[in-house]
Structure 1
Amino acid sequence: MKKIASFCMILFLFVLTACSSTPGGGSDSETLQIGALYPLSGNLALLGEESYRGVELAVEQANKNGGVAGGKKIELVKGDAVDADAAQAEANRLINQEGIQAIVGSYSSSISFAASEVAERSGALYWELGAVSDSITDRKYEYILRTNPPASYFSKTHVNFIKDVVTKKLGKDLTDIKVAIAHEDSAYGTTIADEAVKLSKKEGINVVTTQPYSAGTNDLSSVILNIEKEAPDVLIAVSYMNDAILLARQSEELGLDVPVFIGSGGGHTMTDFAESVGEKANGLFNVDFPQYNINREYTPGMGDFLKLYKEKYGQEPRSGHSLTNYMGMKVVLDVLDEVGEIDPDKLKEAALKYTVEPGSTATGWGVEFDQENGQNLKSEPYVHQWIDGELITVWPEKIAVEEPQVNKK
């Protein structure tokens, strides 16, 4: 009798163990696990956390509405990637220890580049929802998809805005416009700057100086004086938070007064930037992901997102990074709903067939993934401007709520 009881107990434990795990990153047959790799501490944590919040809201909304694929719930397994080294370690942990087969991330290009390398070697699907370096998708990896626009799209927007708007506002021919570029020297800043130089040359725009610097610097006076010496009509800046504030403050101290200043996302998007520099923010343009003073007819679902954000976090979004990751995660969930399981090959195959027309998502972006490199071809940055302490969408016209304002110097 004891032998029978023991045998029954062993059989019960075997069955229980077999039912408690699901291949492909699920803790049980009704739960699907997805890794979420972001800088949640350290120097990049402000926008890293803001980005993660968008993913979190999309998942909570999906779970509340019944989950995906007939009722399966999504569970996020977080990884804190403070830098590229940590990104590699956390990606390895998520894939090899937690059994995760699909990861979303990651805000920072260097983090994305490192983590997606690990995912590719392991055959796990990496969805980039916010990092912009072109090199992430230029490698044409088998297991990477990106929903947001890359840096080269930012540079294209810079140049098209100068060509279509700035020339008219300043009353100058395109070939007479002088452009200076100041950029932090990581993959983020360097990629945007290099592409802006290349596209400017193609259009006949004169880039009079390019000034790289470390984002951790506490003195940009030499950068500013070199720019001032060239007397540019336009200054394109690519900055994180602290260096964006430093550039604004030291520019005023040293008397740099450029007719058109165009930021490139990063620090120039944040409400913290405007609060720190005050009146110096007004008039600055910023090429970035969609923000919130925008044509709502072209961005259906944004109102729902803002309501969810305020209810959960008790404040307004701090930048458009959360919205961008929310939209990207909804694409991930749509594809997962169709596939029904976390199988990297099946998800990639379904994603390459998934399309959405522009003007149909909370960011206004459409979705169509490049068949070779996984880049969303229908994503685009917009031009915003700080006006009376608010970041207003001003271009292109389809998405704008106000005219761009340029004061001739």
Structure 2
Amino acid sequence: MKKVYSLLMIAFLLLLTACGSNATGGKSSDTKTLKIGALYPLSGDLALLGEESYRGAELAVEEINKKGGIDGKKVELVKADAPDADAAQSEANRLVNQENIKAIVGSYSSSISFAASEVTERNGVLYWELGAVSDSVTDRKYKYILRTNPPASYFSKVNIDFIKNVVAKKLGKNVGDLKVAIAHEDSTYGTTIAEEAKKLAKTEGVNIVTTQSYSSASNDLSSVVLNLKKAQPDVLIAVSYLNDAVLLARQSEELGLKVPVFIGNGGGHTMADFKDAVGNLANGVFDVDFPQYNINREFTPGMDEFLKLYKEKYGKDPRSGHSLSNYMGMKVVLDVLSKVGEVDPDKLKEAALKYTAKEGTTPTGWGVEFDAKNGQNKDGQPYVHQWVNGQLDTVWPENVAVKEPQINK
């Protein structure tokens, strides 16, 4: 009897072993799909543009799957909601260790990107950043990170170049005579753009008369506004999310702050929600950001197709250029993946470093050439836009502009 029982137990254990032989990290292997993690803030304070960013990646994947996928395999985005840096680490760990994901895209927020990419670097998983701008994301020179979108320092350069090459002339002043102020929210996003702008300004002879930082969660920016008013700037460079962008505009009006040239930097100043909230106060505001939709179509081939896809799926026009930038970035990921044929971090990185695209050949107008030292795409840049009669028009540089910059002295 003992012998029979022993034989039954051995058979049972062999059966369990056979059942588990196809498992990987607790998940069944699937040779018919290519899985990529998609880590974005889909809830919480950053959800509005986090979801908008995810939509761009989602549309690119749906587009390629409708065409048959890659070598007959469907691409699947495995979603992860990361509303903050702590969640980004835990969700990146889940994707890597439970879902057996070997490449992740994301993430809109620099703090989320920074935290998640630390996890992927430790685990040899490739992280593609499609939207976060902090230079610190790529400055660490990690082996397993690539970024398609321009970093904050590129935003800062466009601010200073625009002030030098356009604003000074239109205001009838020498660059050195202009008084420039900076107001920024104090996260990595705002601080990086502000600090880089100050460095460039010093090099280019642009006079920064005051820098005001604040928390984006603040419900009162009157002290910031009053300090700006005291400095009497000709130009104000602002870096804000949506709520603080609206608050800054309203309290500037209430407290009598008048600045001839106001330059926002992505975030809240890009969004239609900003224009809807402040009405005529948005008129004339400049905004340095990823490409928006009133832009030279000859330089941004594929944008009309993207807009059609977006409206068909979501029933409305895009809320900002974040979806477009993630769409373009995801198409680069998929192009590289199609050359490799499998989600292998080392092979994907090697293929990405050989991948190039010329400026004016992508939906954003960006070119693509990754820096082998840090994984940053060297051929993308922000453009200058301006709110005019309820529309955000691209106004600089000339190759993407649809209108001349308007400045009232």
- Normalised by the length of structure 2, the TM-score is 0.95
CA deviation vs aligned residue, 1:193-225 (integer Å, no higher than 9, x gap): 000000000001100000000000000000010
Q: Name 2:339's counterpart in structure 1.
A: 338
- Aligned residue number for residue 47 of structure 2: 45
Letter of the 1:109 partner, please give it: S
1:392 maps to what in 2?
393
Structure 1's consecutive aligned runs of 4 or more residues displaced over 3 angstroms after TM superposition are 7-23
Distance apart, 1:261 and its partner CA: 0.1
SS at match of 1:227: helix
Residue 324 of structure 1: CA displacement? 0.2
1:317 aligned partner, one-letter code: P
Q: Which residue of 2 aligns with 1:146?
A: 147
Contact 1:20-1:28 at 8 Å conserved across structures: no
| AA aligned opposite 1:42 | G
What are the superposed Cα offsets for residues 112-133 of structure 1, whole Å, 9 maximum, x if unpaired?
0000000000110000000000
State how far apart, in whole Å, the 2-side matches of 1:96 and 1:179 are.
Answer: 49
The answer to whether the Cα contact below 8 Å between 2:265 and 2:287 also exists between their aligned partners in 1 is yes
Query: Structure 2: 5+ residue runs without aligned partners?
Result: 1-9
Structure 2 residue matching 1:47: 3-state secondary structure: helix
Mapped partners of 1:45, 1:99: distance in 2: 26
Separation (CA, whole Å) in 2 of partners of 1:107 and 1:378: 19
Would the aligned equivalents of 2:177 and 2:207 in 1 still touch at CA under 8 Å? yes
Q: Give how far 1:29 is off.
A: 1.2
Shift of 1:240: 0.2
Q: CA RMSD in A?
A: 2.0
Distance 1:114 1:22, change over 3 A: closer
Structure 2 Cα separation of the partners of residues 205 and 283 of structure 1: 22
- Please tell me the residue identity of whatever aligns with 1:285: F
Gaps in structure 1 of 5+ consecutive residues: 1-6
Q: Which residue of 2 aligns with 1:324?
A: 325
Q: Separation in 2 of the partners of 1:341 and 1:10?
A: 33
Counterparts of 1:212 and 1:353, CA distance in 2: 41
Deviation at 1:14, TM superposition (A): 7.5
**C-alpha distance in 2 between matches for 1:11 and 1:402:** 73
Identity value in percent? 74
2:42 & 2:392 partners in 1: Cα distance? 25
Contact in 1 for aligned 2:24/2:100 (Cα 8 Å): no
Q: How does 1:272-287 map to 2 (within 5 A)?
A: 272-287=273-288
Structure 2 counterpart SS, 1:373: coil
Partner of 1:300: 301
**Distance across 1 between alignment mates of 2:402 and 2:164:** 20
Q: Corresponding residue for 1:136?
A: 137
Letter in 1 for 2:53: S
Whether contact under 8 Å (2:236, 2:261) holds in the other structure is yes
Equivalent runs, 1:78-117 vs 2, <5 Å? 78-117=79-118
CA distance in 1, matches of 2:385, 2:12: 65
In the alignment, does 2:202 pair up with 1:189? Answer: no
Classify the secondary structure of the residue corresponding to 2:90: helix
SS at match of 1:60: helix
Q: How much does 1:238 deviate? A: 0.2
Q: Whole-Å Cα distance in 1 between the matches of residues 287 and 148 of structure 2? A: 20
CA contact (8 A) 1:339 1:350 kept: yes
TM-score by length of 1: 0.95
